[in-house]
Chain A
Amino acid sequence: MNFELTEERQMLQDGLRRYLRENVTPEALNEATDSEAGHIPALWDGLTEMGVIGALFTEDDGGFGGAGFDLSVVFEEMGRAGAFEPLLETGVLAGGLIADIGSDAQKAVIEEIVGGKILSFAHTEPGARYDLEHVTTEAKKSDAGWTLSGRKSVVGHAGIAEAFVVSARTSGAAADEDGISLFLVPASADGVDIRDYAMNGGGRAGEVTLTDVSIPADAILGEEGQAYPALEKAAARATAALSSEAVGLMETIRALTVDYLQGRKQFGQPIGKFQALQHRMADVLIEIEQARSAAINLAGHLDAGRVERERHVSATKNLIGRAGRLVAEEAIQMHGGIGMTQEYALGHLAKRLTMIDHRFGDTDYHLERFIRLSAA
């Protein structure tokens, strides 16, 4: 039993924490959401130079990490800073899928990704909610290769992605696991239309409409119709990353709130002297520790067998959702009016934490799924 980070990961954590602390401010984050880019390009360049993206890929794939605990280290720090760079979309989802099932020729793009090329993952559809197998976007064989048509929703950083990994149905019905295929589609392809918008909790996303988008035959990733297991695995890794991001967000929220309880005076004393608030802050701390353990559980089981891995996905995401809501709501409440403002750092962090429950399945979705998987 050993819960220490390896030396390499410890160095990554220290370096990343320092870099983000020095380069991310609440003002810069607010500005970035309003900007066309929807993130901080200089920060992305910095992360690239530090090799942070490489940490998300295995050595075989051209990186120097790629394990669950590499994801935890990176995403916890991103959460701590409240940053919203296209790391999940590029490094874990699109990049992760290419690494998992792409051909050697297709994997060549990973080098570019590690060097800063931005990709995104166009999967969720308007009526899908969190059902991973719900895919209605159609891919038809054509003389040139494939023709894709359909609509994808809330695609992270869609406006700046150079290419998308798109899920589409090559056979079967809307909710079948069988018959889903993945394709690599350049954002510049004819028929790709993106309407992008700001997100609650920072950053931008977009609705991606594909109208008879023609792509070559070798744009398919992996075997035709057999992408579901890879999708599930990518979602598991993304959930691990988001869970660690949530833990990072919680840590910063906790620090801000404790500082505020110590500094804010009402009735002639720091409000942190009121037992009613002390006990609640203690409960918040307990739940953050639970969240951290849950995130560790998942990171440590990403390579386990399917059922065991997925049980951990659902257990962790359920707990993170519950803890996240408690931490965000309590922090706002204990701050009083200040906690309600856009300008103060807490607002952004609390929103970002809350929105994590809306990605890859919420608290209830995973509770139900956990029960189902446990019965299996």
Chain B
Amino acid sequence: MDLTYTDEQKAFRDEVRAFLDEKLPKRLSDKVAGGKHLVKEDYEEWHAILNEKGWLGVTWPEEFGGTGWDAVQRHIFEEETTRASAPRIVPFGVNMLGPVLMKFGSKEQQDHYLPRILSGDDWWCQGYSEPGAGSDLASVKTSAERDGDHYIVNGQKTWTTLGQYANKIFCLVRTSKEGKPQEGISFLLIDMDTPGVEVRPIVLIDGEAEVNEVWFENVKVPVENLVGEENKGWTYAKYLLTHERTNIAGVGFANAALQNLKRIAGLEKSGGKALIENPFFAAKMAQVEIDLMAMATTNLRTIAAAAAGNAPGAESSMLKIKGTVIRQEINALTRQAVGPFAMPFVSEALDEGANVEPVGPDYALPATQSYFNNRKLSIYGGSNEVQRQIISKAILEL
């Protein structure tokens, strides 16, 4: 048992730190640290900086232009980038579609799409969920009917994150109604510029439109955009979900949020004392920190096992639940910490360059919005109820 990094891993960590010191634009880290709204160009800028260094394909093998890092290196990278308040890597192309194409895509698809993911020529979004198919994803209805060398796609996807920025969408579509629902699903790549695709924003409770509805009306998609075999999409979708669950614990995000909370609790005063010295508040903060310390080690245990070649299974469901609950608690405490200034909704003040006078201290502005926005953490990526279902079946065999 040894809880420390090896010398090699420490050297790697120093390399990542040096890179971030030098290359992470202050404009971007200020926005992330201040809870400001990031826009498409911000993500693109950061992706390009990482790509130039060869560090965008964090989870990719070297043969596809990735880093070839092992699980510990990926963890260190994640730890350091979140500590430095770097923007997150938008996961849909790099972390979701990329691995699926590497495993199941044709040589042509790999050669065409993978470089475009890294270069930023394509921005992908994820078209899985539908109004009627959320937790029960296998019930997707969006249909793709074969017509010569095209599929004709009809239906609706929803909750499509950042679909407003995307030029491509990977979709689960129904190509057969025979047999079990899982057996009639295919994995299709769709160009969002094709006639018949329509994107409509959905405003969430934080007042922002980060998700969308995507409608398809007789959309013609070339058959070569099918990934793998027809009606085998469910297998690929599940494979993708295991990748969606890498870094699912969000330890880095939680640490950053906790540091921010402590800073605020040091500045807010109640009854003449800093909130951080208030035993009631301090106890809650300590409780969540203690949970986080243990979870960080659970996460490392999973990572060590993965580095030794054991693919994470139901363990990732535990990390998903614990990780999201911890982050949501930190968000709730942050909202609590800012006191009455949790109430004003001055969203424009979170836009870069906005000429709006904030209300209350700067740090108060994003607190309520982040709290409500992060209620999503326990809903998406397989809801926490669905994860409990997985644990009770796969680990407990109940």
Contacts and interface: CB of A to CB of B under 8 A. Distances in A.
Interface in A183-215: 195, 197-201, 205, 207
A350 B205 contact: yes
Contacts of A305: none
B342 A358 contact: yes
A129 B134 CA distance: 41
Nearest to B336: A362
Contact of B341 (A153, A277, A354): A153
Interface of B is mostly: mixed
Interface stretch (B60-68, B96-104, B264-272): B264-272
B360 A126 contact: yes
B46 interface: no
Contacts of B51: none
Interface string B239-264: 00000000000000000000000000
Interface residues of B, number: 51
Contacts of B385: 274, 276-277
B135 A267 contact: yes
B202 A341 contact: yes
A127 B270 CA distance: 8
B372 interface: yes
A111 interface: no
A294 interface: no
B234 interface: no
Interface stretch (B86-94, B112-120, B223-231, B375-383): B375-383
Nearest to B376: A340
A181 interface: no
A131 B340 contact: no
Interface in B56-74: none
Contact of A130 (B159, B335, B339, B383): B339
A76 to B, nearest CB: 21
Contacts of A276: 385, 388-389
A342 B379 CA distance: 16
B368 interface: yes
A359 B271 CA distance: 16
B134 A355 contact: no
Nearest to B344: A197
Nearest to A207: B359
Interface in B362-398: 368-369, 371-372, 375-376, 378-380, 383-385, 388-389
Contacts of A201: 343
B344 A199 contact: yes
Contacts of B341: 153-154
Nearest to A346: B205
Contacts of A329: 375
Contact of A129 (B268, B332, B368): B268
Contacts of B129: 337
Interface string A315-353: 000000000010001001100110111110001001100
B203 A266 contact: no
B383 A154 contact: no
- Which of B134, B339, B385, B389 has the most chain A CB atoms inside 10 A of its CB? B339
Contacts of B280: 364, 367-368
Interface size class of A (residues with CB under 8 A): 35 or more
A108 interface: no
B340 A359 contact: yes
B263 to A, nearest CB: 17
A364 B336 contact: yes
A270 B336 CA distance: 35
Contacts of A342: 203-205, 207
A351 B205 contact: yes
B270 A365 contact: yes
B136 to A, nearest CB: 4
B132 to A, nearest CB: 8
Contact of A340 (B136, B346, B359, B375): B375
A322 to B, nearest CB: 12
Interface in B196-230: 202-205, 207, 211
Interface string A76-118: 0000000000000000000000000000000000000000000
Contacts of B134: 266, 336-337
Nearest to A201: B343
A5 interface: no
B281 interface: yes
A265 B135 CA distance: 10
22 contacts: A127-B269, A130-B270, A154-B359, A200-B369, A201-B343, A205-B343, A266-B134, A266-B136, A333-B375, A333-B378, A337-B134, A337-B379, A337-B380, A340-B204, A341-B203, A342-B204, A351-B205, A354-B368, A355-B368, A358-B340, A358-B342, A362-B339
Which are the 7 A-B pairs with shortest beta-carbon distances?
A: A266-B136, A347-B205, A342-B203, A129-B339, A364-B280, A200-B345, A198-B345
Interface of B: 129, 132, 134-136, 139, 158-159, 202-205, 207, 211, 268-272, 278, 280-281, 284, 332, 335-336, 339-346, 357, 359-360, 368-369, 371-372, 375-376, 378-380, 383-385, 388-389
Interface of A: 124, 126-131, 153-154, 175, 195, 197-201, 205, 207, 265-268, 274, 276-277, 325, 329, 332-333, 336-337, 339-343, 347, 350-351, 354-355, 357-359, 362-365, 367-368
Given A131-B271, A337-B380, 14 more contacts: A154-B344, A197-B359, A200-B369, A205-B344, A265-B132, A266-B135, A268-B136, A336-B134, A341-B205, A343-B203, A351-B205, A354-B335, A364-B280, A364-B281
